[in-house]
Chain A
């Protein structure tokens, strides 16, 4: 495969993304936006110290984020390491909240293809509804698009019915041209979602990166007729940032995209800020972080 890079202008894309950050989201728009953002969350814990106990707590939080505000919906999914999928699956049984699992040697992906496939199979076997894989940045940066694509195809095959989210780890790709190119490779290879980051790199779902990927999704969809979802992960830690990402979606892909089936926000800490901001629209006061449980 001969690599032909697309053109993305850094200054232009960042300007547009920043401009959309100036939309004024107040009153009812803020309330609805926060509810929407919560419904799109992949509430995540990816620590070496994760235990079944912690995952069960997180699942309970995801199903009912704020018992005092019943209008706040459940999150879309709980995202864990493969080892903890079974625990999450059991805790979420019958709630409508999905279990997502990272796989393929997350986060660096520097393991053999066999190990990646095995990792994926384990997570699927344990009951994961969604698999978040990482692309081989090492192959991508060396110009080996074929290998990047073949890996995604192979993993997609092992996913079975599980949805495949392909993590580009954009902070390691080095340019917006690369982000757009990697987005296209992932979609061509069969990704159900493309996702910005692992959350373990120096930067994540910056507004510019999100916009480049959303434009790629739009253009790929127009060309192929296939709808691919988008997951913003890494660095979305405030309500303002979450709403900004939703504005990017709304004004790039349109209103019909504003659903958890197509858009996800991966985060661990943003949920409580969303709840505090929601409570503020009701009470007029910004509460304390202790008002809501950590997990």
Chain B
């Protein structure tokens, strides 16, 4: 072959357009079907963690607003519950369709407000949020078949507090079953990511949902604490840290407010020697670097059988170096920005602890933007089960590798945690997968995949990862009272 000029090929920047997004400068509280100013007039900016630029001003709800909200939700509830179930379903179907119609806008805003890559908000968060509304819309007129044909009634007004890692999706997980069951809901989005919940409020208006059925009260931890302590709320559903979960449970102790908690995790991702190793490596990457590791069920404790340890780590490191870190709005970005300065600091503290305790750290080399909050994907080897990075939830793009020799040891190590949210099993042998899965104390066990979510599947924890289930028919139970 004659000499040819070498053609160099790299992906050009592919930023998603943002000009179709129509954000307002300010968003009020969504109470009684309309946006209103907070009584104490407090507005706080929400910022883009990839640029540190403010995006919009957000009202924060104070004690007076919570009272008014509970009042409005309480008045709306009997009428909502008295609707024919099929009518409630129609509203939910309408919300689901409107989420689909506005999916592009929702994906962009989710990425701007939270820092997650557009390809995740576009392909995971938004479609799954719509899917949850579709799923529970279908349950609205079949509720008793979800609870063994018992007779049921709604609980009343429910308070729901969601985290910043999947703002719209968690709002959908909470609102869809609550509404399908005939409750009215007061949702408090996270302090750093209120925007998509407020767009969802606009969608509720567009869907002509009766006023008071959905209330959105942005704010910080104080808002959440006050909501939890409101006397006229029949149930609290919380997703977030174990520390806050504990505080909520203590506050509700002795009362008859129902509670479900979906808390932290340090989930084991177990790779056996007979696994399809290349796909296991994909699963490891998806398990810990998906959404910058800001995932409560992230596969942050990687357990590899000793016989394939070196091979898996070599493949994993090779794969990690291909991750594209940077502008979350770029359609080719795999790992985006850390959600907040506060979270970045938490990650840095734990990573420093890992180095001090003697684990070996490898962080991929990549150019990080000057502004914004960033942490490059990191791998820790030579980790002992006693190290902090093997025990505590880092909630960032950091994976700790431990090894095991036998199946029994894998199970023992996986269960040796105060958490029990999820686990992954990688093996080509079906019988082994079933045996290990039934021995694991984890609410979700994935076999030969990781971080796959579906509205039909129940999600929830063991031990300090919380209690109660969301998703599928099991997700109806926490929003119903069984009459007989």
Footprint of B on A, CB under 8 Å? 6-9, 11-13, 15-16, 22-30, 32-33, 35-36, 39, 73-74, 76, 95-98, 215, 246, 250-251, 255, 258-261
Inter-chain contact B12/A29, CB cutoff 8 Å:
yes
- B247: interface (CB < 8 Å): no
Please give me the residue from chain A that is nearest to B426 by CB atom. Answer: A9
The reply to whether A24 and B282 form a contact with Cβ atoms under 8 Å apart is no
For B2, the closest partner residue in chain A by CB is A96
Minimum CB–CB distance for B299 against chain A, Å: 14
Knowing A35-B7, A250-B9, A258-B9, say if A7 contacts B331 (CB, 8 Å): no
Q: Is the CB of B282 within 8 A of A12?
A: yes
Task: Check if A12 sits within 8 Å of B7, measured CB to CB.
Answer: no
Does B428 contact A7, Cβ atoms closer than 8 Å? yes
Contact of B279 among A16, A96, A97 (CB under 8 A): A16
**Chain B contact residues: helix, strand, loop or mixed:** loop
Q: Which 7 pairs between the two chains have the least Cβ-Cβ distance?
A: A96-B2, A12-B279, A24-B14, A24-B331, A29-B12, A9-B276, A7-B276
Q: Is the CB of B1 within 8 A of A260?
A: yes
Which among B8, B12, B278, B449 has the highest number of chain A CB atoms within 10 Å? B278
A74 to B123, CA, bound (A): 38
Contact across chains for B7 and A39 when beta carbons are under 8 A apart: yes
Chain B residues lying within 8 Å of A12, measured Cβ to Cβ, are: 276, 278-280, 282-283, 448-449
Is there a chain A Cβ closer than 8 Å to B277's Cβ? yes
Residue of B nearest to A22 (CB): B119
Q: Mark B110-144, 1 if CB is under 8 A from A, else 0.
A: 00000000010001000000000000000000000
Chain B nearest Cβ from A212, distance in angstroms:
8
A28 to B10, CA, bound (A): 9
Q: Is B364 an interface residue (CB 8 A)?
A: no
A26 to B13, CA, bound (A): 8
With contacts A32-B7, A32-B8, A73-B4 taken as known, whether A26 is within 8 angstroms of B14 at the C-beta atoms is yes
Give the shortest distance, in Å, between B298 (CB) and chain A (any CB): 18
**Assuming A11-B448, A13-B278, A215-B278, is B9 touching A27 (CB within 8 A)?**
no
The residues of A that contact B123 with a CB separation of less than 8 Å are 22
Instruction: Give B residues with C-beta under 8 Å from A.
Output: 1-12, 14, 119, 123, 274-280, 282-283, 322, 331-332, 428, 448-449
The residue on B at minimum CB distance from A25 is B11
One of B1, B6, B11 near A24 (C-beta < 8 A): B11
Please report the C-alpha to C-alpha distance between residue A39 and residue B3 in the assembled complex, in whole angstroms. Answer: 12
Q: How far is the CA of A29 from the CA of B283 in the complex (A)?
A: 29
Q: Given A13-B279, A24-B14, A29-B12 in contact, is the A98-B1 Cβ separation under 8 Å?
A: yes
CB-defined contacts of A27 to chain B, threshold 8 Å: 12
With contacts A29-B12, A32-B9 known, is A9 near B4, CB below 8 A?
A: no
Q: Check if A16 sits within 8 Å of B282, measured CB to CB.
A: yes
Pick the most buried of B9, B277, B283: most chain A CB atoms within 10 A of its CB. Answer: B9
CA A32 – CA B9 in complex, angstroms? Answer: 6
Q: Which residues of B contact A33 (CB under 8 A)?
A: 9
Q: A246-B9, A258-B9 are in contact. Are A7 and B2 (CB under 8 A)?
A: no
Determine whether the beta carbon of A36 is less than 8 Å from that of B277: no
CA distance A95 to B3 in the complex (A): 11
Q: How far is the CA of A28 from the CA of B3 in the complex (A)?
A: 23
In the assembled complex, which residues on chain A have CB atoms less than 8 Å from the CB atom of B8?
Answer: 32, 255
B448 touches A9 (CB 8 A): yes
**Min C-beta distance of B174 to chain A, whole Å:** 28
Q: Complex formed: what's the CA distance from A250 to B321 in Å?
A: 13
Beta-carbon contact of B7 and A8 below 8 Å? no
Cross-chain contact B9 with A8 (CB below 8 angstroms): no
List chain B residues, Cβ under 8 A from A39. Answer: 4, 7
Contacts of A28 in B (CB 8 A): 12
Given A12-B449, A251-B322; A7-B274 close (CB under 8 Å): yes
A7→B275 contact, CB < 8 A: yes
B428 near A9 with CB under 8 A, answer yes
Pick from B2, B9, B428: contact of A36, CB under 8 Å: B9
- Say whether B11 contacts A23, CB under 8 Å: yes
Q: How far, in Å, is A38 (CB) from chain B's closest CB?
A: 9
Residue of A with least CB distance to B429: A7
Chain A residues with CB under 8 Å of B14's CB are 24-26, 29
Contacts of B279 in A (CB 8 A): 8-9, 12-13, 16
Complex: how many Å from CA A15 to CA B14?
22
* Chain B residues closer than 8 Å to A251, beta-carbon distance: 322
CB distance from B434 to the nearest CB of A (A): 17
User: For residue B322, which residue of chain A has the nearest CB?
Assistant: A251
Cross-chain contact A29 with B4 (CB below 8 angstroms) = no
A22 CA to B333 CA, complexed, in Å: 11
A246 to B8, CA, bound (A): 12
What is the CA–CA distance of A262 and B153 in the complex, to the nearest angstrom? 67
Residues of B contacting A215 in the complex (Cβ-Cβ under 8 angstroms): 278
The answer to whether A26 touches B276, judged by C-beta atoms less than 8 angstroms apart, is: no
User: In the complex, which residues of chain A have a beta carbon less than 8 angstroms from the beta carbon of B282?
Assistant: 12, 15-16
A12-B280, A16-B282 known; 13 new pairs, CB 8 Å cut-off, are A11-B448, A12-B276, A12-B449, A15-B282, A22-B123, A25-B11, A27-B12, A29-B12, A33-B9, A73-B5, A98-B1, A255-B9, A258-B7
Q: Chain B nearest CB: distance from A25 CB in Å? A: 6
Q: Is the CB of A11 within 8 A of B9?
A: no
Point out which of B5, B7, B119 has the most chain A C-beta atoms below 10 A from its C-beta: B7
Cα-based distance from A80 to B275 in the complex (angstroms):
41
Are B449 and A73 interface neighbours, CB within 8 A?
no
Q: Shortest CB–CB separation between residue A67 and chain B, in angstroms?
A: 18
Minimum Cβ distance to chain A for residue B307 (Å): 14
Q: Which residues on B sit within 8 Å (CB–CB) of A96?
A: 1-4
What would 23 A/B residue contacts be, using CB atoms closer than 8 Å? A7-B275, A7-B276, A8-B276, A8-B278, A9-B279, A12-B276, A12-B278, A12-B280, A12-B448, A13-B276, A15-B282, A15-B449, A22-B123, A29-B9, A29-B10, A36-B9, A39-B4, A73-B5, A76-B1, A96-B2, A96-B4, A246-B9, A250-B9
Assess the A36–B1 pair: CB atoms within 8 A: no
Most buried by A among B4, B119, B280, B449: B4
